[in-house]
Amino acid sequence: MMNNLKGRDMLSLKDYTPEEIIQILDLADKLKKDAAGEYSSLLKGKTLGMIFQKPSTRTRVSFEVAAVQLGGYGLHLSASDLQLGRGETIDDTGKVLSRYLDGIMIRTFSQQDVADLAESADIPVINGLTDLLHPCQVLADLQTIREYKGKLAGVKLAYVGDGNNVCHSLMYGCARTGMHISVASPEGYLPDTDIVAEARETASQTGGSIALQTNPMVAVQDADVVVTDVWASMGQESEQNERFKIFAPYQVNMDLVKRASEECIFMHCLPAHRGEEISAEIIDGPNSVVFDEAENRLHAQKALLALLMG
């Protein structure tokens, strides 16, 4: 296995070249087809520490199973298991965990905390989600799109909803793979302007494009892929009622999706709320690939662990 990524962190897809992202996706495809093959002992004797300051279903299960299927061990560490909440610094935590573990996955609130952990640790640190970014989800999304569309370059993806962490990482991922992403969010909920600028700079070099608007009907026109996410993420519960009023016109439903390509696929990182950001007829319909997408979290993350920790 060609591996020029060993020892790297995965904090953001912007840190990876287009070729490196394709390298991860190619290995993810191989691992999906050959689950018990040549890589089944790649992480033998190695432990991935998994820090959860935000609860999770898919992230915990997919990373833990990924480590086991590669011959390693996934160690779950909740916020109550660590001294971070009692004043121990991230710097000290990173240095200590580096003496015990071979890699760290962290799912938390602040992107800066992940960057600080990576700075202090001398083992790979993987961003399992922050309020700003969700790179592992988007690796699985890219794998899913390539499975269904046969390519990434030139594919049009429409993202409808909050300009959140998933949206940010989708912009980085689409830009680096030559895709066209069209984002529709309400005023005040559009994606981060710095991330938009960085993604556009990359897209100008790869043949991709980044478009922003507030009209979801415009965003989904002729789209090959339509993606949405929850209207209120973890930590935004107090804004829920207000957000529901603002985002109601952004529901992905049949009226919206009929403007997309006839062969359009629908994706959602889950958990989904039927009747809110997505109608049941779309998420449970024939064009939905959300469970293939969820499965691919396992395969994309196995590839990431194999390349960074193997």
Residues marked as catalytic: 107, 134, 137, 229, 269, 297
Torsion sign (Cα): 115, 117, 121, 124? negative
Are 258 and 278 contacting, i.e. CB atoms less than 8 angstroms apart?
A: no
CA quadruple 267, 270, 275, 279: dihedral, nearest 10:
20
DSSP 109: S
Which uninterrupted H or E stretch holds 128?
A: strand 125-129
Cα 55–Cα 48–Cα 15 angle in degrees, nearest 5: 85
Report how far residue 288's alpha carbon sits from residue 295's, in angstroms, rounded to the nearest whole number. 13
Helices (H), the chain: 18-33, 58-69, 90-100, 111-120, 135-149, 165-176, 193-206, 216-219, 240-247, 254-257, 280-283, 290-309
Residue in 149, 160, 217 with CA at minimum distance from that of residue 185: 160
Residue in 282, 273, 218, 219 with CA at minimum distance from that of residue 244: 273
Report how far residue 280's alpha carbon sits from residue 251's, in angstroms, rounded to the nearest whole number. 11
CA quadruple 8, 102, 116, 238: dihedral, nearest 10:
110
Contacts of 42 (CB under 8 A, 6+ apart): 70, 71, 72, 306, 310
